[in-house]
Chains A and B, each alone.
Chain A
Amino acid sequence: MPRRNDIETILIIGSGPIIIGQACEFDYSGTQACKVLKEDGFRVVLVNSNPATIMTDPEFADRTYIEPITPEWVAKIIERERPQALLPTLGGQTGLNVSVALAEDGTLDRFGVELIGARHEVIIKAEDRNLFKEAMRNIGLDLPESDFAYSLAEAKVIAERMGFPLVIRPSFTLGGGGGGLVYNMKEFLEVARHGLDLSPITEILVEKSVKGWKEYELEVMRDKKDNVVIVCPIENFDPMGVHTGDSITVAPAQTLTDMEYQMLRDASIDIMREIGVETGGSNIQFAIEPDTGHMVVIEMNPRVSRSSALASKATGFPIAKIAAKLAVGYTLDEIPNDITRETPACFEPTIDYCVVKVPRWAFEKFPGADEVLGTRMKSVGEVMSIGRTFKEAVQKAVRSLEIDRYSLRDLDEAPADELPGLLEIASHDRLFKVYSALQQGLGIDEIYELTGIDPWFTDNLLQIAEMQELLEGRDLAGVPDDLLREAKRYGFSDIELARIFGATEAQVRSHRLGRGIRAVFKSVDTCAAEFEAYTPYYYSTYEDEDEVRDTDREKVMILGSGPNRIGQGIEFDYCCVHAAFACKEMGYETIMVNCNPETVSTDYDTSDRLYFEPLTFEDVMNIVEREKPMGLIVTLGGQTPLKLAIPLEEAGVRILGTPPSAIDRAEDRELFGNMLKKLEITHPTDGTATSVEGALAAGRRIGYPVLVRPSYVLGGRAMEIVYSDEMMEKYIKSAVKASHEHPVLIDKFLEDAKEIDVDAICDGNRVFIGAIMEHVEEAGIHSGDSACVIPPPFLGEEVKATVSSYTERLALELGVVGLINVQYAVKDEKVYVLEVNPRASRTVPFVSKSIGVPLAKMATRVMLGQTLDELGLHEERFSRLKHISVKEAVLPFVRFQGADTVLGPEMKSTGEVMGIDDYSPGTDTGFGMAMVKAQIASYNFFPTSGTAFVSAPDRKKAEAVNIARRLADEGFKLLATEGTAASIREMGIPVEVVCKVGEGSPDIVDHIRDGEVDLVINVPEGRGSRGSGYSIRTAATMSGVPCITTIELSDMVLMGITALKKSGLKVKSIQEFHSEIAVPVERGQSGG
């Protein structure tokens, strides 16, 4: 059944901002889908609010809407574009939920839009736990015993009947959001209440826990002709009870006989047919009771998922691409397998290596948050590694994580008597605890009893421990070659071997290379070498044969950004992908190195060659030595490649663009200070300290408040504003370990200053300012968490000119060839430099989308020798735009119960969205609209009427009263606690007084919990205190009430509310915005 010709325009819904449970895997899948459908001649209309995605680059769709992904906004787009079909399965749970809503509110029928990939009934049948349960019963498959509750009272009756432990699963939430494993009635009622609140249909499933059972996932594809294939079986290292997104997972399944595997396979096929997924991919999860083999179905997702991205990378089978083709009518046998070329996609990949995925968490960012892993996903990223054995793969995965671990050794070794207790609890470092327990002699069976981890995995860890024992006590000269080779085959890193042998990493490397112990590269080919592979997708291992094909083209190697984490996410992958595109356009052979399976950069289509490898010196050098690239690009992937720049350069590798020494000059306090002096650029008074005494002295000299942070960090890790000696002492002692190598940086903190970000490209002779971005929040809130605006609406011409001039001077002085990002503070019209980063910044994709110039691509061309003139980048464009763009951060607090939601200098957001609207300078309308779009897109559904609670500390009272007045003007009913209420009432505005937290009942927190408040404006009193504001903010976050913590944002949100009331919903594509820019980019030069 070939291509459907009755469809002309297809709407694809993306997944929006990166949040926990929904990361860049949906950019990977959506980009594939856009590409393949466009190539096939369909007109593709895309909606995604996330500007940091490759899919929202204007060339990937015919019309790209960077608009909020909510039913109302998407309906507007449908009305404007009139697609015949909507493909709902590529945008995660967000895409699916919005599609269902559009089907249910009649929009799709009204405009004659067909859901392709998954019909409405199919989605409902798979997602509605009641219908799903019924469907499974029809085909004779078991589920864990369960029942539905629609109220707390109902839930309680069920819990009493079933007994504990129980799992609560709210219907239609993402990544297990709102669910959890509970052991008693108290926990049960708390989680059940929250779950009922979060579920859009107020439904929770109360399920008998199968904690400790073996967990499996199958990725399944089905086409119109009912051909079904399983792409990959995945086995979880952590048994049931830990969300699969928080589990270490392994592909293929390791401990199932064929008979048992076929049982899962048969069940999967039956489920696909019963649920009725006609075209596309699904993910189905099973649990197996370890002692009996009894199988139960846990759930299915009738769409591409995190696991399908993993399965695609693990096998080389591009699930999303094929799902898109199936959705438009093709059948599996009609689609060729890209990798083998000769064989069709209608087969089941078989692999001849072991794949291990390890999640990456960010608990250090959320002090106070519950770190126990359960049914609610908490990790922010993941790495995948490939080895010929589990031992090799798991060790490669650990060093891919970039958590300063190069082995399984537990860095903070727990005493033996504490280990059993630690092992029982699923935690982010349990893998290391298991290893430690094995080293301390705990038996495999005991560990199984404590953790439920299959003995096969534990025994493999034990083999690594035994190898370590064999190696310990030897030195480099004395280690036999065959033992050293075996250690490398076990995945031991050079760094760990260096520790064992008392040598340096360089000595280990040169010794083993001298003995012929070197990595070879093997292909990921979908077929275990049965057919020749044409796609150069490689992993390293220690075997005999190397499969890399030599070519005589000049090669450029791009180092990716590794696992997503807070502070380094999709934006950097976006830049690396652009680098690959630019190198390709310029005729270079491109080599991508990365270990993050969620990304577009690790799509084998993105570069000419893909190496799925850890981003460590050792692993990168192995590839460099094999491929001999003419140069490496290290400035686009965030800190990960940047950290390697100097060691690589010292090893003789050519670094393209900005010299690594410039990075040092920008980071090193003294060098940086000298440079600013030379350039006559002002910056806040600063100092450094390597001890408590030094820090206190510096603090007094500079004058509090000061901003303190460790050197060499990204995302403001451990950055704090310190107001007193006492706080300084506490900070130095607890937060960081200051040392001579890593001093603490101390800067004067400019209170109530405005913050500005600049992204620019320098070719060594000239600077092109991409944009000056004005932050909404005052300085002191990390730029990654702050909303910002292009063009800067409230900056004076003089300030702008100063900022441009400083940026130019800094770039030229540092010798930047490529991107540079500078952060400034403006106080009393005076401009201070806060930070210079001679590399790609988080805002590069946002700026690129806003001004219509692909900055990362241009920067790559500059790094490869082209000039800004040649690229047609003459004058800046950002101040002449006819539209205004707002970037807003998306925060994960709802996942981290217990953590404070107030913003500060340490970055906490996981993702971002963009709001864009027509604009003429000096007017509020466009700005307000762009702001409100950004807020809605980041799921802050600001009400246009209702009840607002306002509270602010004394120093902000006047501004807070002003906000209150405007709220009243918009028709809001006001609530405030006594102090603030008095100030508001003084101005003659009506306000109702509510009790402060703990000062009577009901207090403000009760009001919020009871749903009596629609908007919370709570400006915190001071930093570092967890006053009453904390419980208010937490209550708001957990109850889904929008909560603003700054005056600035309150102000702009109000503008937005006014604008929205005035002009209603307006949508416009990025292509249209770009076409209106006065200075078009010369197309031939930019390469789109």
Chain B
Amino acid sequence: MVFDMRDREQALLVLSDGTAYRGLSMGAGGEFFGEVCFNTSMAGYQEILTDPSYAGQMVNMTYPLIGNYGVNPGDFESDRVYMGGFIVRESSRIRSNWRSSADLGGFLEKHRVVGLEGIDTRALTRHIRDRGAMEGGISSLDLDPESLLDKVERAPGLVGVDLVREVTISEPYVWEENLAAEPEFEVVAFDFGIKRNILRLLNAHGCRVTVMPASATAAEVLERDPDGVFLANGPGDPAAVTYAIQAIRELLGRKPVFGICLGHQLLGLALGGRTYKLKFGHRGANQPVMNGDTGRVEITAQNHGFAVDTESLEGCAFGNVERTHWNLNDETSEGIRCAEAGAFSVQYHPEACPGPHDSRYLFGLFIELMKEWRR
């Protein structure tokens, strides 16, 4: 007898405005509440799933066919999955790739990700685009929209919540497995939810990386006398990570600083600027960013729901803050530099994974900056 889709367990997604989407359960059964966002990358679901920046969120993939190539040992961006829910139009029942070692469904189940399949994912995307990012609940246990909505309303939102605490480490560790030769630089990285490819690329550029908990103080960092400090990506509202902002402020001008994503927002805040929540964020692998220094456009990978208000950085106490990069779609901040403080950062993901490799030069710039500061 042929397997009948209709025999599968159902699952329900309810948004905080009451909109409900009924589909099939996949991955782990159960319930999850968090912010619903969408990602427009056509490939790279494994990297997205294992990106710690998605803590507290559920991701709706706009590309409808997900799981086609399974899960591959080399494509993890962290040890586990941080997002709580995963929504796709169709999850492939077969995996086809020479590197593949497991299938998506089993992987989601293992990592306790509540999955939803078969809904009109484009309708959901349009809804979020038009109404803005919102909280939602996904459940395979409670299929009553009203009751699920009730639970959604009681769940905490993202704004003002410090999600970094949930994803960071408790003890420092050293990453050197991708070093090709003796390291030239010692870098301390704040782990706000760091993606592995950042570590790989720092190693590839000759940096030994000491990864420290997000709560590390400036004194703890300086004690190690690194050549440079890296501010990692991570989840949630940057303004809630007050301790890190404090630490960064104290490091500015004393060590070269390079930040990515949440690291960019935290640098902005440390420089005295403000951040704000975007209507629905940028999540995908096709965002055009203008590099003000070269006049050229980089196609970038992005994953952020908050942005730096560049204007708020005018008259910064640490020195002039330049807007080095901006998004061509909506003109939002994509990169800043405070030369006096020896700090720069980008909102997007030059380490990609998933996404284009156009912006890898930024790691080179970090190296140059550290060299300069040595002199």
What residues of chain A have their CB less than 8 Å away from a CB belonging to chain B?
225-227, 229-230, 252-262, 265-266, 290-293, 332-333, 342-344, 346-354, 388-390, 444, 454-456, 459, 463, 466-467, 469-470, 480, 482-483, 486, 522, 527-532, 543-545, 547
Contacts and interface: CB of A to CB of B under 8 A. Distances in A.
A456 B355 contact: no
A924 B120 CA distance: 68
B4 A255 contact: no
27 contacts: A227-B297, A229-B299, A252-B42, A253-B42, A255-B96, A257-B44, A257-B75, A259-B72, A261-B43, A262-B354, A262-B356, A265-B356, A265-B357, A293-B98, A346-B297, A348-B285, A348-B356, A350-B284, A352-B64, A388-B64, A389-B90, A459-B92, A459-B94, A470-B4, A527-B286, A531-B329, A545-B126
Given A261-B43, A352-B63, A466-B2, A346 B328 contact: yes
Main SS class of interface, A:
loop
Interface string B290-322: 100001110100000000000000000000000
Contacts of A522: 122
Nearest to A391: B90
B126 A529 contact: yes
Given A388-B64, A455-B94, A528-B62, 19 more contacts: A252-B42, A257-B44, A257-B75, A265-B357, A293-B98, A346-B297, A348-B285, A348-B356, A350-B286, A352-B121, A354-B64, A456-B69, A528-B122, A528-B125, A528-B284, A529-B125, A531-B129, A545-B122, A547-B126
Contacts, number: 176
A259 B297 contact: no
A255 B99 CA distance: 11
A389 B89 contact: yes
B57 interface: no
Q: Which 4 pairs from chain A and chain B are nearest by CB? A: A258-B44, A258-B354, A545-B123, A528-B62
Contact of A543 (B6, B65, B96, B122): B122
Contacts of B74: 259
Interface string B38-56: 1011111011000000000
Nearest to A265: B356
A351 B69 contact: no
B139 interface: no
B65 A390 contact: yes
Contact of A292 (B3, B38, B98, B123): B98
* Most chain A beta-carbon neighbours within 10 Å: one of B46, B126, B288, B354: B288
A949 B354 CA distance: 65
A343 B329 contact: yes
A283 to B, nearest CB: 19
B99 A293 contact: yes
Nearest to B72: A257
Nearest to B119: A544
Nearest to A289: B98
Nearest to A483: B6
A348 B161 CA distance: 34
Nearest to B93: A459
B324 interface: no
B68 interface: yes
Nearest to B6: A482
A344 B2 CA distance: 48
B341 interface: no
B42 to A, nearest CB: 5
Contacts of A259: 72, 74-75, 353
Main SS class of interface, B:
loop
Contacts of B299: 229-230, 347-348
Contact of A389 (B43, B47, B64, B72): B64
B180 interface: no
B242 interface: no
Given A333-B288, A333-B297, A348-B299, A253 B43 contact: yes
Contacts of B69: 255-257, 456
A113 to B, nearest CB: 30
A454 B100 CA distance: 14
Contacts of B329: 342-344, 347, 531
Contacts of A480: 6
Contacts of A348: 285-286, 299, 356
B287 interface: yes
B108 interface: no
A444 B62 CA distance: 28
Interface string B325-361: 0001100000000000000000000001111110000
A877 B195 CA distance: 74
A388 B62 CA distance: 11
Nearest to B3: A466
A530 B40 contact: yes
A534 to B, nearest CB: 14
A254 B42 CA distance: 9
Contact of B98 (A252, A291, A349, A544): A291
Given A229-B299, A530-B40, A352 B125 contact: yes
B92 A456 contact: yes
Given A543-B120, A545-B120, A545-B126, A258 B4 contact: no
A351 B64 CA distance: 9
Nearest to B126: A529
A657 to B, nearest CB: 37
Contacts of A456: 68-69, 92, 94, 96
A11 to B, nearest CB: 30
A344 B89 CA distance: 28
B97 interface: yes
A444 B96 CA distance: 11
* Most chain B beta-carbon neighbours within 10 Å: one of A257, A351, A352: A257
Contacts of A455: 94, 96
Nearest to B74: A259
A258 B75 contact: yes
B98 A290 contact: yes
A139 B12 CA distance: 51
Interface string B59-79: 000111100110010110000
A599 to B, nearest CB: 26
Nearest to A467: B2
A537 to B, nearest CB: 14
Nearest to A256: B43
B359 to A, nearest CB: 12
Contacts of A344: 288, 328-329
Contact of A255 (B63, B68, B89, B126): B68
A291 B296 CA distance: 38
Contacts of B125: 352, 528-530
Contacts of A260: 97
A39 B73 CA distance: 53
A455 B93 CA distance: 11
A388 B89 contact: yes
Contacts of A389: 64-65, 89-90
Nearest to B301: A258
A257 B43 contact: yes
A257 B46 contact: yes
Contacts of A253: 42-43
A257 B297 contact: no
Contacts of A290: 98
Contacts of A486: 5-6
A225 B296 contact: yes
Given A347-B299, A389-B89, A545-B126, A258 B355 contact: yes
A266 B299 CA distance: 12
B63 A347 contact: no
B357 A262 contact: yes
Nearest to A387: B64
Given A543-B123, A545-B123, A528 B63 contact: yes
B125 to A, nearest CB: 4
B197 to A, nearest CB: 10
Contacts of B96: 255, 454-456, 459
A463 B91 CA distance: 13
A547 B38 CA distance: 19
B336 to A, nearest CB: 20
A258 B99 CA distance: 12
